Amino acid sequence: MNYVILIFSLLLIFVSTACQNNANTGSTKRISSEAVKILSEQDIISISSQACNEMDHRATIATNNHALNQRLNKIVNTLPNNINNRNINYKVYLNTEPNAWSTANGCIRVNSGLMKLLTDNELQAVLAHEQGHIALKHAIKSFRQAPYIEITDKANEIVIMVKQEIAQQYEVEADEYALNLLLKEKIDPIGLINMLSKMPIHASEYPTAHPSNLHRMNNILDKLKNK
């Protein structure tokens, strides 16, 4: 069974209440699925919030008057700003890697490398996709379904094991959510296709959480035919 490793950077105190009676191996603490299950949805959202703050602390963030931040603000104004009764907050990381990510508490972060690669319409698609992960509670489900969670002393990272097929299904679900959202907001959904055509092929030492870009594009096109 292939698993995808999802890594969140956060302080060890986040899960101190779940660490009782769990195995410690050297500098790594392993939390069993039984211990994880005692965490409430609000606990997981709090973990996500502090993880986002930790990532912000490490990153170089574009200032309010930075051209990329101003561009992002214009784009996000075309999309909903509240999901699951949580306000969405955005930041631009000055990082050349073409990447974007979201957390359960409503953080969406976009690297400058991705913004420079994509058009405004394509970025709308990316943000709609990330909103999909939040709306569908994928991060919360990942916690719940993990066979175990490890906490390492490498920058206080939390490592979540998720079945590869589940992680890939989450990506497809977020694409489909984004498609429906773009259509609802009367935004050209072709940005989803164009964005995926520009994204680099995912390469990692671990099994990837993302299905192939071609698979995702074909799925979106199939859905569009039925709209």
Residue 91 pLDDT: 98
Q: What are the structure tokens assigned to 16, written together?
A: 């101190």
C-alpha to C-alpha distances, 29 to 16, 149, 172, 175, 206, nearest whole angstrom: 11, 8, 32, 34, 21
Taking the C-alpha atoms of residue 51 and residue 45, their distance in angstroms, rounded to an integer, is 10
Band the pLDDT of 221: cuts 50, 70, 90.
very high
Q: What are the structure tokens assigned to 140, written together?
A: 């919360």
CA-nearest of 70, 191, 66 to 119 is 191
The beta strands (E) that lie in 52-190 are given as: 82-83, 86-87, 89-93, 100-102, 107-111, 148-151, 157-163
Average pLDDT over residues 106-117: 96
Taking the C-alpha atoms of residue 95 and residue 92, their distance in angstroms, rounded to an integer, is 9
Of the residues 54, 122, 130, 171, only one is catalytic, namely 130
> Is 34 one of the catalytic residues?
no
Q: What is the pLDDT of residues 204-219, one digit of tens each?
A: 334 445 568 888 999 9
Question: Of the ranges 22-26, 30-34, 98-102, 164-168, which is most confident?
Answer: 98-102
Q: What phi and psi values does residue 186 have, to the nearest 5 degrees?
A: 60, 45
Q: Which residues contact 196 (CB under 8 A, 6 or more apart)?
A: 213, 216, 217, 220
